[in-house]
Amino acid sequence: MINENRLYKDITGMEKILSIHPQFSWKKIKYIEAFNYYIDLNEFGERSSYLKILFGLELSNHGLMKACFKFNGINNLIMRSIGGKYNQIMGFEIIDRLFLGWDLEQRYLVRDYENGTIEFSCKAIELLQVDI
């Protein structure tokens, strides 16, 4: 991961998690509870793809937490082994590739680096909701 603290500042709404758990890390994400992929118009009136994911997180002092993220401008979406009673995430990370020279359309690499349950690139990320 590249400068995790800086990455949090670029994600709209991250203060919702950081105010509850200041030592939050992407590795706290343990499973996918729900997801919704769709195409809609972006702020410029152009068609763009979106993905909303409801994640389950384990926080040592707070038990379980659920967080809904919206990923904007999805590219190269890969999902594997989704279904059944539990969609486990073994090693989740978000990599900001802007400083590696990637264009804004594929700024973030979002993935489960352990078992490849999910992987995609996106332009922007928003934290929509947190439930304890």
Q: State pLDDT tens for residues 42-54.
A: 999 999 999 999 9
Domain of 75 in residue numbering reads as 4-131
Tell me the average pLDDT across 23-36. 92
**What pLDDT is recorded for position 61?**
67
pLDDT tens for 65-117 read: 999 999 999 999 999 989 888 899 999 999 999 888 777 889 999 999 999 99
Closest CA to 110 of 52, 47, 58: 52
Task: List strands edge to edge, sheet with 47-59.
Answer: 87-88, 29-41, 47-59, 63-72, 124-131
- Cβ-based neighbour number of residue 29 at 10 Å: 23
Which residues have CB under 8 Å from 15's CB, separation 6+? none
Q: Does pLDDT of 26 surpass 60?
A: yes
Tally of domains within the chain: 1
Q: Does pLDDT of 3 surpass 70?
A: no
CB-based contact 9:34 (threshold 8 Å): no
